[in-house]
Amino acid sequence: MNNAPFQSYNEQLQQLTGSILTMGNLVKEMITTALTSLTEKDDVLKEQVRELDRQVNALDRSVSEQATMMLAFRSPMGDDLRFVTSALRIASDLERAGDLAKNTTKRSMKLGDYAPATVLGKLHSMVEIVASMLGDALTAIETRNPEQAIAVWKRDKQVDDLYHEILRTLQEEMQKHPESIESATHFVFATKNFERIADYATSLARTVHYVTTGTLADKGVLKAAKEETH
């Protein structure tokens, strides 16, 4: 990073964006691996997630350094300034999402043979939406597309609905099979982790909306967007 002041402004901006995108794609890989670990319970998967988490943490520090350098040696304006100052929050959201994926993988090792067929299909659907939300949020960051950011935000309700369906089913299973309560509880927390990752993807989308429009995204913005689609 010592040569950062000697890079062109555009090069620094592209490097910062690239670091964030790389970080996000690593988190997406962590999410997929965490889901797999719930049924395969493989120590190799656990170590893969640990290594990915180390890379995410290193990129988190790198983003902080790059943003600080740009603010110290450049004078970004408009949406560039909002992007650079928001980079720390973006990286923080991604780092926390990665931590949740790592926690899910750790919990999977405590499940034993527990793999509730009644919810696995819904969980896979839920995580597929979560991963697509994160992927689209990253694309919105790269292209600075506020419409795509709002589209990510809209899908958060789909994740919430599936989460509550899974939760209700697991609660019913625990009532019918008390011996599975401990394992089912770990599964509940793992599912909650994925739901929280969707919240972080939504946070990324709201940040993109702010960066590109200068307007804080609130429920009024989302409501207006929904009305436009009807």
Would the CA dihedral through 45, 47, 52, 53 be positive or negative? Answer: positive
Helix axis angle, 156-176 to 181-213, nearest 10°: 170
Pairwise CA distance, residues 168 & 188, whole Å: 10
Model confidence at 230, pLDDT cuts 50, 70, 90, reads very low
Q: From the CB of residue 143, how many other CB atoms can be counted at a distance below 10 Å? A: 12
- Which percentage of the chain shows pLDDT scores above 90? 72
Amino acid at 81: L
Read off the pLDDT of residues 109-158 as tens digits, 9 standing for 90 and up.
888 888 888 899 999 999 999 999 999 999 999 999 999 999 998 899 99
Q: Residues of the chain with pLDDT > 70: what percent?
A: 91
As to burial, measured by CB atoms within 10 angstroms (0-12 exposed, 13-18 middle, 19+ buried), residue 113 is exposed
Superfamily of domain 4-228: Phosphate transport system protein phou homolog 2; domain 2 (1.20.58.220)
pLDDT (tens digit per residue) in 56-100: 999 999 999 999 999 888 888 888 999 999 999 999 999 999 999
Query: Residue 229 has what pLDDT?
Result: 45
Backbone angles phi, psi at 114, to 5 degrees: -70, 120
Q: 226 versus 208: which is more confidently predicted?
A: 208
Per-residue pLDDT for 1 more than 50? no
Question: Who's near 120: CB < 8 A, 6+ residues apart?
Answer: 39
Q: What is the pLDDT of residue 57?
A: 97
CB-based contacts of 71: which residues, under 8 Å, 6+ apart? 84, 85
**Can you give the pTM of this predicted structure?**
0.90
pLDDT, one tens digit per residue, over 158-191 is 999 999 999 999 999 999 999 989 999 999 999 9
8: number of Cβ within 10 Å: 9
d(CA 79, CA 13) in angstroms, rounded, equals 12
Label residue 6 by pLDDT band (50, 70, 90).
Answer: low
At residue 221, the pLDDT reads: 60
Domain boundaries, the chain: 4-228
Whether residue 13 contacts residue 79, with contact meaning beta carbons closer than 8 Å, is answered with no
Residues 19-40: tens digit of each pLDDT? 999 999 999 999 999 999 998 8
